C-alpha cells in the first residue's frame, strides 16, 4: 500500500514538473496556443505547414527549432507584427487571413497598388476577378499575402512590400504616360477627372499627351509637404524643353529659374533635412533638402551656403544667398522639386 502511494506521488510530481516545463514552450491564451522555441508536437506541425503554405521554405517536423524561429520572425516582419519569434494570438490571426483588404481611395490605381504591395497588376486582377484596370473609390480589393511574401523573398530590400500591412497610400506621385494612354483613360484609372489632371499639370490641352511624359496625379499629394516659394522674383526660364542659354542646344530644364539680385535670401520651401550642400558642377553652389516620402527640393547657383549636410531646417529658414555660380548667365535661383528622383514642375506644387 505504502509502495503504491509512493508511486502515485512520484507520478504526480512528474506530471507537475512536465506541465511546468512544458509551459515554457507552449501555453494557451484564450483559444490561441502560444508557441515559442523548444515547443514540439501537433501545434508546431500546424504552424510549420501554414508557413510553408505562405511560401516559406521550412521542414514540417513538429520541432520549434532555430529555423522555425527565424521563419516566424520573417513572417512577423513582413506583416507588420512584433518581431519576437513567438507565435501568439495576433500572429495566428494574421496567418489565418490569406489576404490584405485594401479600400480604394482617390488616387489609387492597379498600377500604384501593384507597386505598393510588390505584386503584379495581373495578381490583383485575378484575386478580384477584374476584367479591366478600372477600379472604383470605395471598392475593397483583396491582395494575396502569399504573393507579397514571395515578392519580399525575391527582393528583401523592398521596403514597400515590408510595410504593406500598415501603408495607407502609394509611395509614387508621378505617372509616366504609356503608349496609347489618353487623359480620359488615365483619369479613370486613377479615380480622378480630366480637368483635375489638367489643372495639376497645367496642361493647355490634356488630349495631347506623349509617351514618357510625367504627370502628377491629383489626390496623391494629400500628405505631401505644403511648399512656399524659396525666393520671390520673375521666372526667367520655365520647366520643360528649352534652348540652353549657354550651350545653345535643346535640353530639358528640370526646374524653374527665378531671377533675383545676388545676395537675396534663399529660403527652405518646407521642413526637412539637408542631404547635399556644396559645389555641384554646372549647378554651382547648391543645396538639396529631403522632405520625406521621396520628395526633395533643390536650390542652385547660390553665392553662399548657410547650412551643412545633416542640418534640420524649418520652412522659410534662410539656407543660402542667391548668386550666379556654376553655368549661369545671370543671378537667379534654379529651384527644382523631385519625387522619387523624377523632376516635376515646381509651379504645380507652389502657392
Grid cell for residue 206? 490634356
Instruction: Give residue 8's pLDDT.
Output: 47
**Residue 38: left (phi > 0), alpha (psi -120 to 50), or beta?**
left
SS3 282: helix
DSSP type of residue 346: G
pLDDT digit string, tens, across residues 7-18: 445 444 444 444
Instruction: Give residue 204's pLDDT.
Output: 82
The share of the chain scoring above pLDDT 90, in percent, equals 28
Per mean pLDDT, which range of 73-77, 170-174, 272-276, 297-301 is the poorest? 170-174
Q: Is the Cβ–Cβ distance between 217 and 193 less than 8 Å?
A: no
Give the chain's mean pLDDT: 79
Band of residue 26 on the pLDDT scale cut at 50, 70, 90: low
How many helices and strands (H and E) does the chain possess? Answer: 10, 18
Instruction: Give residue 244's pLDDT.
Output: 81
Region 19-38: mean pLDDT is 61
Band of residue 232 on the pLDDT scale cut at 50, 70, 90: very high
pLDDT exceeds cutoff 70 at 46? yes
Band of residue 104 on the pLDDT scale cut at 50, 70, 90: confident
Which residues share a beta bridge with 237? 257
Residues contacting 333, CB < 8 A, separation 6+: 230, 231, 233, 257, 258, 260, 264, 266, 299, 300, 301, 302, 322
Instruction: Give residue 157's pLDDT.
Output: 45
| Buried-exposed string 95-119: b where 16+ CB fall within 10 A, e elsewhere | beeeebebebeebbbbbbbbbbbbb
Region 11-33: mean pLDDT is 49
Instruction: Give residue 306's pLDDT.
Output: 97
CA 218/CA 199 separation, integer angstroms? 9
Band of residue 298 on the pLDDT scale cut at 50, 70, 90: very high
Q: Is the Cβ–Cβ distance between 218 and 203 less than 8 Å?
A: no
Region 230-245: mean pLDDT is 88
Residues contacting 185, CB < 8 A, separation 6+: none
Instruction: Give residue 164's pLDDT.
Output: 38
Instruction: Give residue 230's pLDDT.
Output: 97
Nearest to 289 by CA among 330, 263, 323, 318: 318
CA 86/CA 83 separation, integer angstroms? 8
Region 20-48: mean pLDDT is 72
Instruction: Give residue 172's pLDDT.
Output: 39
- Kindly list the structural domains of the chain, giving each domain's residue range(s) and its CATH number in brackets, ordered by start: 2-96 (1.10.101.10), 99-162 (3.10.350.10), 174-216 (3.10.350.10), 234-348 (2.70.70.10)
pLDDT digit string, tens, across residues 253-266: 889 999 999 999 99
CA 215/CA 3 separation, integer angstroms? 88
pLDDT digit string, tens, across residues 158-187: 444 433 333 333 333 577 888 888 888 887
- pTM confidence score: 0.44
pLDDT digit string, tens, across residues 78-93: 667 788 999 998 888 8
Per mean pLDDT, which range of 49-53, 105-109, 237-241 is the poorest? 105-109
Instruction: Give residue 330's pLDDT.
Output: 93
pLDDT exceeds cutoff 80 at 200? no
DSSP type of residue 192: -
Instruction: Give residue 205's pLDDT.
Output: 86
Instruction: Give residue 28's pLDDT.
Output: 54
Per mean pLDDT, which range of 236-245, 313-322, 327-336, 342-351 is the poorest? 342-351
Q: Is the Cβ–Cβ distance between 246 and 221 less than 8 Å?
A: no
- HSE (side-chain half, CA atoms, 13 Å) at 34: 13
The share of the chain scoring above pLDDT 70, in percent, equals 77
The DSSP line for 77-144 is HHTT---SS-B-HHHHHHHH--EEEEE--TT--HHHHHHHHT--HHHHHHHTT-SSS---TT-EEEEE
Instruction: Give residue 169's pLDDT.
Output: 37
Classify residue 87 by burial, with Cβ atoms within 10 Å: 0-12, 13-18, 19+: buried
Amino acid at each position: 500500500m505504502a509502495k503504491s502511494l509512493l508511486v502515485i506521488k512520484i507520478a504526480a510530481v512528474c506530471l507537475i514538473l512536465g506541465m511546468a516545463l512544458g509551459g515554457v514552450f507552449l501555453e494557451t491564451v484564450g483559444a490561441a496556443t502560444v508557441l515559442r522555441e523548444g515547443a514540439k508536437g501537433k501545434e508546431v506541425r500546424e504552424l510549420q505547414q501554414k508557413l510553408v503554405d505562405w511560401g516559406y521554405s521550412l521542414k514540417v517536423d513538429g520541432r520549434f527549432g532555430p529555423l522555425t524561429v527565424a521563419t516566424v520572425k520573417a513572417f512577423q516582419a513582413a506583416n507588420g507584427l512584433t518581431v519576437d519569434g513567438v507565435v501568439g494570438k495576433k500572429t495566428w490571426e494574421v496567418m489565418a487571413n490569406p489576404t490584405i483588404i485594401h479600400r480604394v481611395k482617390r488616387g489609387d490605381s492597379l498600377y500604384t497598388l501593384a507597386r505598393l504591395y510588390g505584386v503584379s497588376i495581373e495578381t490583383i486582377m485575378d484575386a478580384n476577378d477584374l476584367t479591366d484596370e478600372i477600379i472604383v473609390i470605395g471598392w475593397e480589393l483583396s491582395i494575396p499575402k502569399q504573393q507579397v511574401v514571395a515578392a519580399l523573398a525575391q527582393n528583401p530590400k523592398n521596403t514597400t512590400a515590408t510595410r504593406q500591412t500598415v501603408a495607407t497610400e502609394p509611395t509614387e506621385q508621378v505617372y509616366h504616360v504609356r503608349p496609347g494612354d489618353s487623359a480620359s483613360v488615365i483619369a479613370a484609372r486613377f479615380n480622378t477627372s480630366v480637368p483635375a489632371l489638367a489643372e495639376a499639370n497645367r496642361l493647355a490641352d490634356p488630349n495631347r499627351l506623349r509617351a514618357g511624359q510625367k504627370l502628377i496625379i491629383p489626390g496623391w499629394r494629400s500628405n505631401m509637404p505644403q511648399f512656399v516659394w524659396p525666393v520671390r522674383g520673375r521666372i526667367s526660364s520655365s520647366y520643360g524643353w528649352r534652348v540652353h542659354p549657354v550651350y545653345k542646344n535643346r535640353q530639358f530644364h528640370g526646374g524653374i529659374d527665378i531671377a533675383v539680385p545676388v545676395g537675396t535670401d534663399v529660403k527652405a520651401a518646407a521642413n526637412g533635412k539637408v542631404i547635399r550642400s556644396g559645389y555641384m558642377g554646372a549647378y554651382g553652389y547648391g543645396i538639396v533638402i529631403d522632405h520625406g516620402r521621396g520628395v526633395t527640393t533643390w536650390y542652385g547657383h547660390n553665392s553662399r551656403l548657410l547650412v551643412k549636410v545633416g542640418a534640420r531646417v524649418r520652412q522659410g529658414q534662410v539656407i543660402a544667398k542667391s548668386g550666379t555660380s556654376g553655368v549661369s548667365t545671370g543671378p537667379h535661383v534654379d529651384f527644382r522639386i523631385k519625387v522619387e528622383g523624377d523632376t516635376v514642375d515646381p509651379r504645380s506644387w507652389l502657392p
